[in-house]
Structure 1
Amino acid sequence: MYGKISEKPRYGNADEKPAPPRGDGRRVLIVGDDPPTVELLSTTMELAGYRIATAGSGPEALTRLVEHPADLVVVDMAMSDLRHFSGYPRLPVADRPPLLFLTACESLDSLVPGLGPGAADYVVKPFRVAEVLARAQTLLRARQYEDRRTSAPRFGDLTLDDHTCRARRGGRTLDLTPAEYRLLRHLLLNAEQVLSKEQICRHVWGEDRADNAIEKLVSRLRRKVNQEDPPLIHTRKGFGYWLGL
């Protein structure tokens, strides 16, 4: 499972005080068997707004990815049984999160061979925390762009499939009506932006409707989406509704 995010980023190293990119609650699996390195990465990325899970071996990492999908995997290449991570390509392509390697070499070609399609990057050890955060953000942005380009909008563990008009949150399929799906997609594509009732009405129904119609629709959708933590659908009283953390 992925832990809760910390609210106030703090950095103990006075020499390194970057403005950390916002993690937005996205899930990062850190794979490594060196406790100091895992602890440093876990604490730093949690304070930057990510939800963190850890795995101490290749098989454990693969099991966690199947049971609890991640948005990004950070892999310490010094891990003793890294060869067992070769099972990564057996995951469905759509479920393979980007990989960020911590390595002593300076070429992706000399890392784990045969990983198959998927985004990957690396940071050379000894690494700087600021560089890990920056590379992680770049990989996540690229993944988000690719998801939108292929009509698979997502936010955190919420994913929409426009081909089947189905939505999932984590491993749970959401039972949505057509209007609820249109509303959820509109909120997701405008994540972190407040949408007025008028904007929602025009998008969902193509016409103006009474305020209570929107309130009832949002209420039904909120109950279905917000069963897991963190809640994603919110009300800005007097302004409208928004999707985010």
Structure 2
Amino acid sequence: MEKILIVEDDEGISSFVNAELIHEGYQTVLAADGNQALKKFEEENPSLILLDIMIPGINGIEVLQKIRKTSSVPVIMVTALGQTEDKVSALNGGADDYISKPFEIEELLARMAAVLRRTAGSKENPAVLQNGPIKLDIQNMKASVAGQEIIFSKTEYMMLKCFLENIDEVLTRQQIIEYIWGKGHFIDDNTVDVYVGYLRTKFVAAAAAAGAGAGTGDNSIIKTVRGLGYKMEGR
């Protein structure tokens, strides 16, 4: 059950939104000013924050800036009268979306659902893939074995990513080809064998440079499955 932090100083709006969200199956936490919002955020670890800009004490933009220093929790800013400068400030400050008062509850619920879906999607696509000592930083396109950075070509990078996304699964050469080059391209099966060899060699070299023992970066982590293809074993 998603927990929603509602930051709103207008008691009527706060009570109405709170009741509607509970009715929709959400768990709710309320805060009426900026300081209370930060306190509740730290204590409750909400799934999403509905944050009014014009709140007592620290305003909503400042609250957002403080939260963004430590967290990427989804935030929907609530602005008054659709002020353009408020919307720009909210989005530039790291808000995921905004909604203007007065709003229909159906629109708010739809925006919340969309933001939560996007957040769930990003969690399903992690920034780092790892299998034991082998680590692939997707965002920065960097790879390492036992902390020793490896320089890969684009094709080697894509092949490693393919294996790390399918640990302990047998991948045929055709599946690997389609993952790297896409469908409709004629790539000889031997090309896959060559690049698997490149990966194995680089794993061994990186492990040796890092002073890691056998089994850390050795080529046995990518197994040849006779008659089928290859499998990266989980470590």
Q: TM-score, normalised by structure 2?
A: 0.48
| Structure having the larger proportion of residues in helix | 2
Larger Rg: 2
